[in-house]
Structure 1
Amino acid sequence: MSQATPTHVEVDGRAMPPDGPHPLALATHGHFTVMQVRGGGVRGLGLHLARLDAANRELYGSPLTSDLLRARIRHALAGAGAGAGDASAGTSGGDATVRVVATRTAGDGPSRIIVAVTAPAEASAVPQRLLSVPYTRPFAHIKHLGTFGQLQYNRVARARGFDEALLTCPDGTMTEGATTNVGFLSADTVVWPAAPALHGVTMALVEPLTNGVREPLRLADLDRFDAAIVTNSRGIAPVAAIDDHRFPGSTPLVEELIRRYRAIPLDAV
């Protein structure tokens, strides 16, 4: 299969010169989604498109149709040399990471659709270490461009030898990872924090595969659980530790959850 060039960016279907100003650097207000394309297909494509439509209605008062979004994604994939093929066959088309951003300048014009195509990515097979930090995202239910706080705390976490920041409320209530959702396994149940957080696409795909529940969870509750996972567009990764509390990393249940997630059919772009 072909793979995407290092970075190919289109704005409203028009390719941007690679040496010109990056439109994503100029967008300060907007919302987005990130998806992994494999063989021209995406797990949970409908959830990604619904996310963009719902956020655009909330922020800008107008819809984004699935037809428009899929056309923009297909056009950018083709421009990047990773054109969509038959996702069900898995024998043609491209692999890529696709970021779709919707933004709007002053005025009542339509939202600008920015599609960035980069190399495909996979969830880490190495169990992740999380550092709890005192921060929660504003408008947490929206995947928006106001990411400075979470990215800065990620830098702090990595400087201290961790892989990612775990965002918490002042009372220690856990919400989400800086760029992931976090879930905790107890026997065959996955418990997700009941707190302001993004309802991630991978999380939404995993929920029907498990006895999933949501509960308020604090750092003091970590002893209750057998294992933990983080999820994002790259998939599912096991957790090795949160602060100084250690988990076993990958367990048979985590491995089974990853296997079942990977078996979810791809939706053709």
Structure 2
Amino acid sequence: MFCNGQPADAATLGAALINYGHFTSLQVRGHAVQGLDLHLQRLAHATQALFGSMLDERQVQRWMAQALQHAGMADASLRVTVFSRAFDFRDPLSVVPVDVLVAVSAPVQLSASRAVCSVRYQRELPALKHVGTFGLFQQRREAMAAGFDDALFLNEEDQVSEGSTWNLALHDGQQLVWPQAAALRGTAEALLRQHWNGPQVVRAVAAAELDRIQAAFACNASGIWPLGAIDGRALAGSEPLAAQGRAVMAAVPWQPLQV
């Protein structure tokens, strides 16, 4: 882990435990990232929203590249967390400088099919990738205890929103459907929507419609995987739909980290 370009010490990590901040997770291959600009924009927007501060995106990019160099890795998973050692929960409106924590770990690529169950759950501030992840992981834990692989969220209006840590696309037999309900709009979703070669639409999806869906896949920066079943109903078309999504992403350019 590196904070502001330097190896993180215990004092720095202690400040990060306040649990107020935001992050982005991404995959690096050959010192390059798909949707790097989207990840940096996400960090800059959330920094302004949570701290009232401006984020130097170019500096963050340099710190990401430096962390990879220190780790001696060209392929990796990165988590970039923005927090502030100057943040005081007693005075949360104060504009404070922020700190950037970069964690480097082994690369991952998700592709295995998963069976999910729908649950009524809405994240706080769903448009921000904030560090309040307790509810997400607890919903996944409960889904697994019930015999599923993960949880699919429905909002208070019984509309499909997102998965625990992923977005999803559904196919109704005619077109790709992206649920419109409030959710964290991921970088993989944005790239797929931009490059998808075929009919697609963004609209509200009622939970009752899940019985008529023919195929679905989940996506995040770690990959695309088929949703083999939702609420126990098998989706035979999910494997080829996910393969189509992976083919789309394979053609998306990778942006170098080096500034």
Superposition TM-score, scaled by structure 1 size: 0.86
CA contact (8 A) 2:28 2:107 kept: yes
Aligned runs of 1:33-72 on 2, under 5 Å? 33-72=24-63
The Cα of 1:252 is off from its aligned counterpart by 3.1
Instruction: Report the residue type matching 1:198 in the other structure.
Output: L
Q: Distance in 1 between matches of 2:217 and 2:174?
A: 13
Gaps of 5+ in 1: 1-8, 83-93
1:136-177: CA deviation from partner (whole Å, max 9, x where unpaired): 001000000111111111111112221211111234211100
1:172 maps to which residue? 158
Cα RMSD of the aligned pairs, angstroms, is 1.9
Match of 1:252 among 240, 248, 255: 240
- Residues 165 and 25 of structure 1, relative CA distance in 2, 3 Å threshold: farther
Aligned-residue offset at 1:25? 6.2
Cα 1:27–1:189, aligned 2, differ >3 Å: closer, same or farther?
Answer: farther
Partner secondary structure for residue 256 of structure 1: helix
Which digits, 9 at most, give the CA deviation of each residue in 1:38-80, with x for residues without a partner?
0000000000000000111111112212211111101111111
For residues 44 and 77 of structure 2, what CA distance do their matches in structure 1 show? 20
Task: Please identify runs of 4+ aligned residues in structure 1 that moved more than 4 A.
Answer: 19-25
246-255 or 44-53, which deviates more:
246-255
> One-letter code of the match for 1:95?
D
Partner of 2:91: none
C-alpha distance in 1, partners of 2:188/2:37? 12
Q: Is the 8 A contact 1:132 1:242 kept in 2?
A: yes
Structure 2 regions of 5+ residues with no counterpart? Answer: 89-93
Q: Deviation of residue 21 (structure 1)?
A: 8.2
Offset, 1:121: 0.5
The counterpart of 1:116, out of the listed 74, 99, 103, is: 103
* 1:197 and 2:189 correspond: no
The question of 1:81 aligning with 2:72 is answered yes
Contact 1:24 1:114 in 2 (8 A): no
2:256 maps to: 268
State the Cα distance separating 1:35 from its structure 2 match. Answer: 0.4
Identity of aligned residues (%): 37
Instruction: Give 2:122's aligned residue.
Output: 136
